[in-house]
Amino acid sequence: MSRIAIEHVDAFRMPPALVRETTRTLVVFWWEDVPVGQVMDDGLPGELVDLKAHWQVFSASSACKRAERFSIQKRRPALDASVIICTRNRPDALRSCLASLTHQSLKPLEIIVVDNAPSDDRTRRVADAAGVKYVREDRPGLSAARNSGIRYATSDVIAFTDDDVVLHPRWLERLTLAIQDSKALAVTGLVLPAELETEAQQHFETYWGFSQGYEPMAFDADFFAADKGTGCEAWKIGAGANMAFHRRAFELAGYFDTRLGAGAAGCSEDSEYWHRILSRGGTCHYEPAAVAYHYHRRDLAGLGSQIYHYMKGHAAALLVQYERSGNRGSLWRLLYFLPRYDAKRAWRKIRYGDRPENRFLWREIAGLLAGIGYYLRHGRPQLP
């Protein structure tokens, strides 16, 4: 499978031409430094991409009109922000992430690197060379690392990103302004692929990608109301690779549950925490103008393992959500909707053969079952 090229085009200064490098090109349109939309362009290498035709789809959109207003805003947030990066044994990725933070329009009050159960001192050396605060957390697990970072942070706004991410120069400014303006306790941003070079990266972006679109969204009591019936789809709020909280969130909802996240159940510590904020009357907000670029896993074996742990963490998080809220929607989703949905997919897979969307179906099902087992073995709440 050939790579998919990614082109970022500023429609405010539309280039006269764009030559295709490959048969498929993901074109991301911006209005100055605000993202507006994306389109997948197909054609022969060497031909010109019809940018004007693609742009017509977005030029009259509400996202474009908002971007025109947003791009001229030059406000400095009244709140300071700390940035936390939790990492384990990936110094090269961390170095790239830290480099992108040096160009932020809003300079972080502090950058905290939390080294989670490291096997050597490479992460410390990278943090020291970058002049950032280094915290070692020997308890394995992303939630334990996040909690350590929160305890060391001193700002009103606490932003999180991952070591396999690079950040747009106005990322922190826009997350912080979104918290300031919306009064939300949690804000997430747009996550775009940094590259789509391999089959695994393309599969992930197509079926598991982090993007929640180019329109801002508010998640409040109306969104959470579904939790009593079919479950609150908290994962739609965003991605843990691009999120920030007002410090009041931790006063209201406590810390991350150490049963969840990488190194424990597998993932969903972020969505469970957003769910907890909503269950206690707080609100969350999605701000697509705050952009992070994520490097997806490059190999299929690694992607299969990632999807297994995603579903394992999702199952465990649904049970934790029911444990905390008492709303049966999470149980309905885990014990009825997902088994029924996967049974239909399994029948189609057996009847019609493999399809791309079902490539990792058995890994997904195994992950769900493992997540239930994990929760049953670790049923007591674990916060700090």
pLDDT digits (tens, 9 = 90+) for 237-290: 999 999 999 999 999 999 999 999 999 999 999 999 999 999 999 999 999 999
The answer, yes or no, to whether residue 113 has pLDDT greater than 60, is: yes
What is the band of 194 on the pLDDT scale with cuts at 50, 70, 90? very high
Domain, as residue range, for 328 = 301-377
pTM: 0.95
What lies within 8 Å, CB to CB, of 73 at 6+ separation is none
Q: Is residue 158 in some structural domain? A: yes
Distance in angstroms (rounded) separating the CA atoms of residues 119 and 115: 10
What is the band of 45 on the pLDDT scale with cuts at 50, 70, 90? very high
What lies within 8 Å, CB to CB, of 140 at 6+ separation is 116, 117, 263, 264
Distance in angstroms (rounded) separating the CA atoms of residues 97 and 346: 39
Give mean pLDDT, residues 194-221: 96
Q: Is residue 384 in some structural domain? A: no
Residues 198 and 98 in one domain: yes
Give mean pLDDT, residues 164-191: 97
Task: Give 148 or 67, the one with higher predicted confidence.
Answer: 148
Give the largest CA-CA distance in the chain. 61
What lies within 8 Å, CB to CB, of 103 at 6+ separation is 169
Please give the pLDDT value at position 382: 57
The answer, yes or no, to whether residue 383 has pLDDT greater than 70, is: no
Residues 225 and 101 in one domain: yes
The answer, yes or no, to whether residue 74 has pLDDT greater than 80, is: no
- pLDDT, tens digit, 9 for 90 and up, residues 123-148: 999 999 999 999 999 999 999 999 99
What is the band of 68 on the pLDDT scale with cuts at 50, 70, 90? confident
What is the band of 381 on the pLDDT scale with cuts at 50, 70, 90? low
Residues 281 and 352 in one domain: no
The residue out of 13, 40, 70 marking a domain boundary is 70
Q: Is residue 277 in some structural domain? A: yes
Please give the pLDDT value at position 59: 87
Residues 203 and 90 in one domain: yes
The residue out of 253, 270, 298 marking a domain boundary is 298
Residues 254 and 120 in one domain: yes
Q: Give me the number of domains the chain comprises.
A: 3
* Residue 257 per-residue DSSP state: -
Please give the pLDDT value at position 290: 97
% pLDDT > 70, the chain? 99
The residue out of 298, 325, 357 marking a domain boundary is 298
% pLDDT > 90, the chain? 91
- Taking alpha carbons only, the member of 163, 383, 137 closest to residue 269 is 383
Q: Is residue 20 in some structural domain? A: yes
CA 304, 309, 315 angle in degrees (round to 5)? Answer: 130
